[in-house]
Structure 1
């Protein structure tokens, strides 16, 4: 099977798997236990915290481990606004874990503004400025969109919000390991990360919240992770996550250049094969391994299933969408009509993707178009 759904999840790297196995065998203690076995696990946990912090150029004190990207978004947002009232700003194309969290907060009395984006999925600084109110307490904008790959100008927006003394959270799950994340230069107060998007294990993620920012635990009297998240910490998975993070960040620049070349090759091959298609999202400010394609005249779900028959795995967008929803929520927000929004497929490449895979995929899409359309 040619796997081209790396935005949904990634296979664990050999080194991350080795760390997971070793940590499971040798660092099995509860890091909250005071005996030597617990202390040994605690030491590995703190080393892992420092490793994740170094990947985003910040201090370990602000890193809290979670159960994954969605868990990170939920906990970060709720911890930042707990005990407060007022107005929150986000965009209409955030990941469902963010949108669902804000829907819940709206039911609890917060006023939520869902900002519109332009045809490329970009939210402008002026749009953010116009939405600010006297009681705005938080802004949350995703760094890189999972459906269309568009990268937002988080640094510029963050600089403005810092001057306004408004908290700024960014979902960095898709961006981590693909583009540089520097907490200081991004001007963010909080970010969310996930392990299984970067060749680490599933079920583990992280949140950064600036030590300068006050927050309240979602569940009172929680002892783990300085009160941020309840439950015994999964030290082996966290150590494996840290290993995967170190590895992907060290190789990021070279790997993303390679993946960008493969992306451009696929687009060229589709054009040469006379496949009528459109690239959805920003043409330049986008994740280099991510292609959100509309194959004109064919439903994305059909294209995905036909590619699967040909042993090629792609998706029709984020894997966390509502079951049974064929139309792309993000494309609808970008202004596409429902029929067009059903034609989306998402091709996302990774470290195991080769030029031969790209050629075979382009030929397979050509075959599907030729046998489907009149």
Structure 2
């Protein structure tokens, strides 16, 4: 049987069109986009034209979107750039953020006051907690739109409005890596100043991402070099990666959300046959992510057993899932009998019901062995 890939929150398979466009770019559009000759100019124009897709998908000005090396790069550059543009102040984030945010804020703790907000059992940030943490000297609030482990969708509209109501000068950033293509958001209607994105989570290539930063936001460059257009991150543009990313953006079809929703519902129905299971993902969480836990089981053992049948899942974020309990699972206060039995299933538009049937069959087998 073919590989059954249910770890799409970690990375996704590049689409055929993306691969074709990247190969074409490497063959025919290989000039440095910063070069002033005609070849370089033609590549630069092509990228600028395709870059307008950000205006269609996110409703943000494409000239305020800068290419980075990925989601981790975007988060690091944004948080450090905002912090260094201010001599001191408070930074607010949550205990369930991606490691690229938590490790970056941790590195700033000696110079800045960093507050980590608690969440409820589903990973939701409570508005009251945010209000309590806000101060006159709060320079940045960073809250992910969609959590990579639980799939919880934060109410960014309400949270960003709350921040701006209390302190209009506070910069609001959201990590949208798990939201891009998975939820339809009109950012022109939100009080969001910065957005992190990644290509390889939407069937594009690895090694490329983007950062939107609202014009005139107080920011200090963290990367120094020269670029005609990508001034926030002045590097030689990786043409083929950018073209692949933008092609993946152009392929975004929100009709796929309905397909994935039905697949997740089908999976949940199949899981009802299993005893001693806890669903950690809230009902209205991202349809692409399902986090579950089994009583007195070991997630790592489940993962290894399924892998032997070419079924691939995760025990948490790919950037932190190395046996230890993740910060996300710790933050939702899962009971001791369930905490070691956590797995994450994450879907894509390419998954089918037959794959879920086989996954459930093998999952039941390994759970029976653990009794």
Q: Report 1:144-159 matches (<5 A).
A: 144-159=146-161
1:53/1:338 Cα in 2 relative to 1: closer, same or farther (>3 Å)?
Answer: farther
* Residue of structure 2 in register with 1:271 after alignment: 272
- The separation in 2 between residues aligned to 1:207 and 1:30, in whole angstroms, is 21
Q: SS of the counterpart of 2:114?
A: strand
How far residue 269 of structure 1 moved from its aligned partner, in angstroms, is 1.1
The partner residue of 2:98 within 78, 95, 100 is 95
1:281 aligns with 2:285: no
* Residue of structure 2 in register with 1:182 after alignment: 186
Q: How many residues align?
A: 366
- The separation in 2 between residues aligned to 1:214 and 1:113, in whole angstroms, is 21
Q: SS of the counterpart of 2:272?
A: helix
* Residue of structure 2 in register with 1:209 after alignment: 213
- The separation in 1 between residues aligned to 2:14 and 2:343, in whole angstroms, is 24
How far residue 37 of structure 1 moved from its aligned partner, in angstroms, is 1.4
* Residue of structure 1 in register with 2:315 after alignment: 316
Q: Say if 1:326 and 1:342, in contact at 8 Å, map to a contact too.
A: no
TM-score normalised over the length of structure 2: 0.95
Q: SS of the counterpart of 2:51?
A: helix
1:229 aligns with 2:233: yes
Q: Say if 1:301 and 1:326, in contact at 8 Å, map to a contact too.
A: no
- What is the RMSD computed on CA atoms of the aligned residues? 1.5
Q: Say if 1:328 and 1:344, in contact at 8 Å, map to a contact too.
A: no
Unaligned runs of 5+ in 1: none
Q: SS of the counterpart of 1:106?
A: coil
Q: SS of the counterpart of 1:227?
A: coil
How far residue 275 of structure 1 moved from its aligned partner, in angstroms, is 3.6
Q: Report 1:17-56 matches (<5 A).
A: 17-56=19-58
- The separation in 1 between residues aligned to 2:276 and 2:157, in whole angstroms, is 36
* Residue of structure 1 in register with 2:361 after alignment: 363
Q: Say if 2:320 and 2:326, in contact at 8 Å, map to a contact too.
A: no
Unaligned runs of 5+ in 2: none
* Residue of structure 2 in register with 1:290 after alignment: 289
- The separation in 2 between residues aligned to 1:24 and 1:337, in whole angstroms, is 52
- The separation in 1 between residues aligned to 2:326 and 2:189, in whole angstroms, is 32
How far residue 342 of structure 1 moved from its aligned partner, in angstroms, is 1.9
How far residue 339 of structure 1 moved from its aligned partner, in angstroms, is 5.1
